[in-house]
A and B are shown apart, each in its own frame.
Chain A
């Protein structure tokens, strides 16, 4: 069975601080996909990134960066110089490589950025 653990339920930071959201996953699949989604107060799920299990290269997109480490089954997300608009719930998710495998979400981390 696949499982995603986001141990941090809530994080509060002051604007301009860096913050890392942790994600640990479990899967028996050798090929899988990892995702991060942002859910602002309006409720929609905003796709941030997808990472294949065979690509461990870290990725940076503006103030966002992701650290994928297969050895520790982790896919952590860092926001540099946080802004108030980053306040949201962030979900890490995992899917297998089969078309029948659903996307499994972690419980989410609520990030509050205080001005």
Chain B
């Protein structure tokens, strides 16, 4: 079964450093997403991406965050200057079809990248 692949699985970085989290969505999916889960809390939406541009973003997704699909297969989340509160699990997801009729099969999530900012 097709998977969404995220790398790395764990990353430790120093406060103020830039990090790039990588994702390879399922190849025929059209929508891509990043979600964040601070330890012990709920999964929160960050951003959705369609047709090479951001479709929607939450208030969490401020200027320190950016997303990119650099080569048609990877989907990256960049955090420019990490803060301690950016420590979290980051999930990438992708979904099928622009038209969410009965054929919509839902979201496929990657296994996550656990980011620790020290």
B65 in contact (CB, < 8 A): no
Contacts of A45 in B (CB 8 A): 43, 91, 109, 112
A residues bordering B, Cβ < 8 Å? 31, 33, 35, 37, 43-45, 47, 50, 52, 91, 93, 95-108
Tell me whether B102 and A52 are in contact (CB under 8 A). Answer: yes
Most chain B CB within 10 A, of A96, A99, A105, is at A99
Contacts of B95 in A (CB 8 A): 99
Tell me whether A103 and B42 are in contact (CB under 8 A). Answer: no
Tell me whether B31 and A99 are in contact (CB under 8 A). Answer: yes
Tell me whether B56 and A103 are in contact (CB under 8 A). Answer: no
Tell me whether B50 and A103 are in contact (CB under 8 A). Answer: no
Chain B interface size band reads 20 to 34
Tell me whether A99 and B98 are in contact (CB under 8 A). Answer: yes
Tell me whether B105 and A50 are in contact (CB under 8 A). Answer: yes
Contact (A100, B109) CB under 8 Å given A33-B100, A43-B89, A107-B41: no
Contact check: which of A96, A99, A105, A106 meets B50 at CB < 8 Å?
A: A99
Chain B, residue nearest A49 (CB): B106
Tell me whether B106 and A47 are in contact (CB under 8 A). Answer: yes
Tell me whether A102 and B56 are in contact (CB under 8 A). Answer: yes
B33 in contact (CB, < 8 A): yes
Residue-wise, chain B 84-115 has the 8 Å CB interface mask toward A (1 for contact) of 00000101010101111110111111011010
Contacts of A31 in B (CB 8 A): 100
